[in-house]
Chain A
Amino acid sequence: DTEVTQTPKHLVMGMTNKKSLKCEQHMGHRAMYWYKQKAKKPPELMFVYSYEKLSINESVPSRFSPECPNSSLLNLHLHALQPEDSALYLCASSQGARSGGNTDTQYFGPGTRLTVL
């Protein structure tokens, strides 16, 4: 099973709402990632979790709050978002630097398309 699943596929929320994006993988990967992608732009790294610990935060605003409850799950909690946060949010996983060495391939989910009104 080389699949990364993301829910929901689409999400529309108001600026005062609180919502969560979910990501799941069952490949035994120990690194998980959140990316944000605007239309016609490349994905931009937001967060990296390694062995369930946050290892990289690319200066993301605090209205985005990641959580890794276990090695298979990754959440992104959203609160008080702005319209400019509307984008495709991609989750990815990889074996993890300790086990993958320098051949660590990331597997991406299909993304959640978020619209903030």
Chain B
Amino acid sequence: AQKITQTQPGMFVQEKEAVTLDCTYDTSDQSYGLFWYKQPSSGEMIFLIYQGSYDEQNATEGRYSLNFQKARKSANLVISASQLGDSAMYFCAMRGEGYSTLTFGKGTMLLVSP
């Protein structure tokens, strides 16, 4: 079984600053995948970034990067140069070995202020 923990219910950041959203996971699988999704107030879940457990380099997608520390079982999302449009709920999720289903954390609400 997989478990995702997001310990930050809410985060505040000023525009143009960087912010790190924490995610830790628990699994006994050797092969797994980690995802981050963004959910604006409109409700739709938007895929941001993916990290495979065997990927040697941290994933990056534009202003998003994933700080993957396998030994610590953490997969933190780093957003550089925050924008007002980044205000949303952010979910960390993982897929276990051989599974197509995702286990989600409870989310972190990010508010970006001018």
Are A and B genuine complex partners? no
B interface list, Cβ under 8 A from A: none
Q: Which residues does A use to contact B, with CB under 8 Å?
A: none
